[in-house]
A = this chain, B = another copy of it.
Amino acid sequence: MSNITKEKLAAEDIAAQLTNAVHEHRLKPGAKLREDEVSDVFGVSRTVVRQALRALAFEGLLTIERNRGAFVSKPSLKEAHEVFQARALLEPSTARAAAERTTAADIVLLERHIKEEHEALDQDRPGLALKLSGDFHLEIARIADQQTIEQFLKQLVSRSSLVIALYWKRRNALCESNAHHALVDALRNHDGSAAEELMKGHLLDIYSQLDLREYDEGATSLKEALRK
Contacts and interface: CB of A to CB of B under 8 A. Distances in A.
Interface in A144-161: 145-149, 152, 156, 159
A225 interface: yes
Interface residues of A, number: 26
A89 B141 CA distance: 14
Interface of A: 51, 54-55, 58, 79, 82-83, 85-86, 89-90, 93, 96-97, 100, 145-149, 152, 156, 159, 219-220, 225
Contacts of A149: 82, 85-86, 89
Which of A89, A148, A156, A219 has the largest count of B CB atoms less than 10 A from its CB? A148
17 contacts: A54-B54, A54-B55, A58-B58, A82-B147, A82-B148, A85-B146, A85-B149, A86-B148, A86-B149, A86-B152, A89-B90, A89-B149, A90-B90, A93-B225, A100-B220, A145-B219, A148-B159
Q: Chain copies in the assembly? A: 2
Contacts of A148: 79, 82-83, 85-86, 156, 159
A47 B18 CA distance: 23
B100 A93 contact: no
Nearest to A149: B86
A86 B51 CA distance: 28
B89 A93 contact: yes
A51 B225 CA distance: 37
A1 B210 CA distance: 48
A156 B146 CA distance: 14
Nearest to A91: B89
A38 to B, nearest CB: 18
A14 to B, nearest CB: 14
Given A54-B51, A90-B89, A225-B93, A79 B147 contact: yes
A2 to B, nearest CB: 27
